[in-house]
Structure 1
Amino acid sequence: MIPTMPASPSPSVPRLAVVDIARGVAIIAMMAYHLCWDLSYFRFIAPDVGRDPVWVVIARSILFAFMALVGVGLVLGHGRGVRWARFWRRWLFVLAGALAITLVTWFAFPESYVYFGVLHAIAMTSLLALPFVRTALWLPIVVAPLVILLPLVFSDPFYNERAWSWIGFWQVPPPANDLVPVFPWLGVVLLGIVAARLVLASPLVARLAAIQPRTRLPRLLAWLGRWSLLVYLLHQPILFGLTAAVAGLLQPGLAMRDTDFLRSCQVSCEAGGTTPGLCVTYCQCGLEGVKRNDLWSAMTTGMVTAAEQALLDAQNRQCSVLIYPELDRGEADDAAL
């Protein structure tokens, strides 16, 4: 996930440092998420950060904050009139960052490169949402929930293709390390526009404008918020590179392979109808056999010699009898996974 660039307020709108601070908090959350993603990718930690349901919720929450702040920035920057030169300068900068990310991930992850990530979405939704900073307020209030809810009630296999998936109505999305479609995220940008317009039209704006970062931490957060795009473009290559270097030295995948084996075995065992408790016993037996007979290469590559297959068959029988003692050795093969 990638933050947006901050928008400088137009002359008649007070500078809201609290918005910069909010961006700073969001970008720290994003950096922490990316660090955990890197640790997961190199197998320092067990959860699959890109797919684990809890981590998906965390990622979507951070993304929600950033996309809402896009709408807030549009209002602060152009709510009293669009400053086209500033808008296009910032838009081209965001677009250049998006294209750079696509190019880098194309080489690093050719099967799941980022073809429409957060920066791409920010560039597109900024164009689509800009008119709503000056329309009647009721219009974004009505359109925002429609945009958010429409993908929940409409989808079509046509949008499964990469060329059209960025719109957001897919049933099965193409593989991508980051995919942020226009629907529903344009709706979140519109929510940010609504919130900012309501605040600017209320007495609350004066109280928010009075909030200034006077101590070290708020100042740091405000600085990060003002330079969020630059921080993003620099931090992830650095984090990824450092994590890759440490992984090359420590080889965390070797340490995690026991956990991976047990998890995969448990899932397969329970899917075959065996109770979880018996599956734990069976899989632990299998792990001990793999270690004892040095069968890791056969397990991970699928290239099994005749001798290794004989060891695996014998191990399978032994572990099956361990959880089904009423079976003899011949019948155990049928009960084993």
Structure 2
Amino acid sequence: MHSALLRRIPCGFTRQSESAASLAAEGCRIASGKRANRLGWIDSIRGFTLMQMIVYHGLWDLVHLHGVEIAWFTGNGGFLWQQSICWTFILLSGFCWSYGSHPLRRGLTVFTAGAIVSLATVVAAPDQVILCGVLTLISSCMLIMIPLDRLMRRLPPALGILLCGALFLFTRTISSGRMGFGLITLPPKLYSGLLSAYLGFPPPAFYSTDYFPLLPWMFLFFMGYFFSRCLPRRSLPSDAFSGSAVLRFLGRNSLPVYLAHQPLLYAAFSLICD
């Protein structure tokens, strides 16, 4: 049952993807005296990846909604591009967690945005509904990190990266009913409802056009967290390698840009192609 399920639930970005570009909602900051300075190079990386996501979604619209044939996009090239985008955003969100302030408020804000996107797809586009999407994943990880931070700080960062990387790979295929590189078959009773889907065990009837459960993706977020601990804050000046002003602007305003770009793309292509 799970092989068919995987074909219906892409673990990546589609037109309706809840891009993690919005997930460092207040950006990555470091303390400098009494004021907090943004890390310009983080904003630039986020902005560059956000631009890729917009282009990817535009091509997705053309291929899947307007019948344009782009062979490489529907093959391995498009899949690898898609994965590089979502991996970058999730890692960046984990990296920025320890530099941001008010983690509870930020986590709840992003979780609310994810709930709004899910509700909007249920009402306006039920055939492309988003449940347990990236916004829900990252906001959940942001909230989980609040009680885990003190415990995880006891781990050496390098060990944390290796451990989380191994756990990510070990649980990578959990939504298909297996883990441990496909060697361990999980009991079907684990795949029993929406809560199980949120955790990483989607039942046969579950459907989402964009699906990022806690397992395995939270381990990628945790890897980003440990990467940030490998770099002392004093070695991260906010103006180093800050990139272009356009990229920094996109990175700083990733949430509103994300929320606006999909309806704008949809409307533009509907006018041009129909």
TM-score under structure 2 normalisation? 0.74
Instruction: Map 1:186-197; keep pairs closer than 5 Å.
Output: 186-197=218-229
Percent identical pairs in the alignment equals: 25
Aligned to 2:8: none
**Shift of residue 66, structure 1, vs aligned partner:** 0.4
Find the aligned partners of 2:241 and 2:78 in 1 and give their Cα distance. 33
Find the aligned partners of 1:57 and 1:115 in 2 and give their Cα distance. 23
Say if 1:157 and 1:172, in contact at 8 Å, map to a contact too.
no
**Shift of residue 50, structure 1, vs aligned partner:** 9.2
Q: CA RMSD in A?
A: 2.9
Say if 1:42 and 1:244, in contact at 8 Å, map to a contact too.
no
Gaps of 5+ in 1: 78-82, 249-337
Aligned to 2:9: none
Gaps of 5+ in 2: 1-16
**C-alpha spacing 1:51/1:147, structure 2 compared with 1 (3 Å):** farther
Aligned to 2:95: 72
**Shift of residue 42, structure 1, vs aligned partner:** 1.8
**Shift of residue 70, structure 1, vs aligned partner:** 0.7
Q: Which has the larger radius of gyration?
A: 1
Instruction: Map 1:262-277; keep pairs closer than 5 Å.
Output: none
Say if 2:111 and 2:140, in contact at 8 Å, map to a contact too.
no
**C-alpha spacing 1:126/1:103, structure 2 compared with 1 (3 Å):** same
Say if 2:114 and 2:135, in contact at 8 Å, map to a contact too.
yes
**C-alpha spacing 1:59/1:67, structure 2 compared with 1 (3 Å):** same
**Shift of residue 246, structure 1, vs aligned partner:** 2.7
Say if 1:114 and 1:178, in contact at 8 Å, map to a contact too.
yes
**Shift of residue 131, structure 1, vs aligned partner:** 4.4
SS across alignment from 1:166? helix
Q: 175, 178, 188: which one pairs with 1:157?
A: 188
**Shift of residue 6, structure 1, vs aligned partner:** 3.8
- 1:218 paired with 2:266, answer no
- 1:89 paired with 2:126, answer no
Aligned to 1:136: 154
SS across alignment from 2:31? coil
Say if 2:193 and 2:203, in contact at 8 Å, map to a contact too.
no
**Shift of residue 74, structure 1, vs aligned partner:** 0.4
Find the aligned partners of 1:110 and 1:61 in 2 and give their Cα distance. 27
**Shift of residue 100, structure 1, vs aligned partner:** 1.5
Amino acid at match of 2:48: V
Relative to total residues, which structure has the larger helix share, 1 or 2?
Answer: 1
Deviates more, 1:5-14 or 1:23-32: 5-14
**Shift of residue 71, structure 1, vs aligned partner:** 0.8
Relative to total residues, which structure has the larger strand share, 1 or 2?
Answer: 2
**C-alpha spacing 1:162/1:220, structure 2 compared with 1 (3 Å):** farther
Instruction: Map 1:175-214; keep pairs closer than 5 Å.
Output: 175-200=207-232, 205-206=235-236, 208-211=237-240, 213=242
Find the aligned partners of 2:126 and 2:71 in 1 and give their Cα distance. 19
